[in-house]
Amino acid sequence: MKADFRVFLYACVLANIGVCDLLLRLAERPRQHLPFWSEDVLAEVYRTHTEKLGWPPELADSFQKALRTHFPEALTVGYEHLLPAMTNDPKDRHVLAAAVHARVNVILTFNLKDFPREDLQPWNIEAKHPDDYVLTLYDIDKSRVVSRIAAIAEQRQKPLEDVLINLGNSLRRFASRLYADLGLP
């Protein structure tokens, strides 16, 4: 996997702050991938943060501003003309259309059922669970992934083990593997 590997982060991934933090740190230089999303996805993330997770609007606004400021090239626009050609789950056709327009290799989502292989194949796009994707990044460059997780732990002033336990809520196989590889008790 090269640093220009393009991934589309769906709302369920961006709204999960632990997974999102790790993926975005892995997109910082020297990066392991290029992230993309759309206005529709960002709107869904905002609704999830404020309506489902109870974030104050100021915090959700700050998160959105940070995404736009630190990854301005990630915002995909002008894909609406592709919507009629999409055959995946109707509520998620905007995601596939934006991914096609952004020429991504992978859509990262926890909702794989909404992106059947046969609907993605004509576009040469795969849908992957973030657990599988992060495991792949780890296999490619263990030290980079570990250093980014260590940076998260340092910034949050928490032990590395606590960060891994938190990640394990969403990335079970990755967290278990890293926990074992690091020989943590």
Residue that is written with structure tokens 């759309």 in the block: 38
Distance CA 141, CA 135 (A): 10
Angle among Cα 5, 139, 72 to the nearest 5 degrees reads: 30
Which range has the worst mean pLDDT, 69-73, 122-126, 181-185?
Answer: 181-185
pLDDT band of residue 3 (cuts 50, 70, 90) is low
Indicate the SS3 state at residue 169: coil
pLDDT in tens, 78-88: 999 999 999 99
pLDDT band of residue 4 (cuts 50, 70, 90) is confident
Inter-residue contact 93 to 83 (CB < 8 Å): yes
| pLDDT of res. 177 | 94
pLDDT in tens, 141-175: 999 999 999 999 999 999 999 999 999 999 999 99
CATH among 3.40.50.1010, 3.40.718.10, 3.40.980.10, 1.25.60.10 for 6-133: 3.40.50.1010
Calculate the average pLDDT of the chain: 95
- Predicted TM-score (pTM) of this structure: 0.93
Distance CA 77, CA 1 (A): 25
Q: Please give the residue that has the higher pLDDT: either 183 or 68.
A: 68
pLDDT in tens, 33-92: 999 999 999 999 999 999 999 999 999 999 999 999 999 999 999 999 999 999 999 999
Domains of the chain by residue range: 6-133, 142-181
* Backbone φ, ψ for residue 6 (5° rounding): -100, 130
